[in-house]
Amino acid sequence: MPAPLQQEFDFGRHVAALDAACRDRLRHLRQLVLDTASNTQGVGEIIECLKWGQPAFVTQNPRSGSTIRIDAVRGKAGTVAMYFICTSGLVEDFRERYRDTFRYEGNRALIFAADDPIPEPELRHCIAMALTRRLRR
């Protein structure tokens, strides 16, 4: 069942209640998604919204890819995640390519603790794969 798309969304207000480490990390991940989207051929317009109560990035025109969500991980202080649709096979592809580069949560997320360095080139590649998933099928 698809989550309702909420167009009215204020990212700053959404992350304001989080601890500073999570807030900073989520802002960084958000910027990586937006930068990667604008520099990846075929992605087109990105809609920033809430899905399942989490900040989400949806390819709108054209519908080139799969939704990416980011949020703090409940019950794990200072930890954030980048979520992907679990049935998309994307996380399995990431794990195959970057086995030791990321921490994974099943077939749905990449996990980042506040003190983990973010492997930006590899993460940008994963983001681009998600945002162009439908173009590659």
Four-residue CA torsion sign, 94, 130, 68, 35: positive
Both tokens of 26, joined, read 């989520």
pLDDT computed for residue 37 by the predictor = 94
* Cβ neighbours of 93 (radius 10 Å): 15
Q: pLDDT tens for residues 27-66?
A: 999 999 999 999 999 998 899 999 988 999 999 877 889 9
Four-residue CA torsion sign, 136, 32, 46, 22: positive
- Which domains does the chain carry? 18-132 (3.90.1150.200)
The Cα–Cα gap between 41 and 59 comes to: 12
pLDDT computed for residue 135 by the predictor = 75
pLDDT computed for residue 136 by the predictor = 66
Three-class HEC string of the chain: CCCCCECCCCHHHHHCCCCHHHHHHHHHHHHHHHHHHHCCCCCCEEEEEEECCEEEEEEEECCCCCCEEEEECCCCCCEEEEEECCCCCHHHHHHHHCCCCCEEECCCEEEEECCCCCCHHHHHHHHHHHHCHHHHC
> One digit per residue, pLDDT tens: the chain, 137 residues?
444 444 557 898 889 989 999 999 999 999 999 999 999 999 988 999 999 889 999 998 778 899 999 999 988 889 999 999 999 999 999 999 999 999 999 999 999 998 889 999 999 999 999 999 877 66
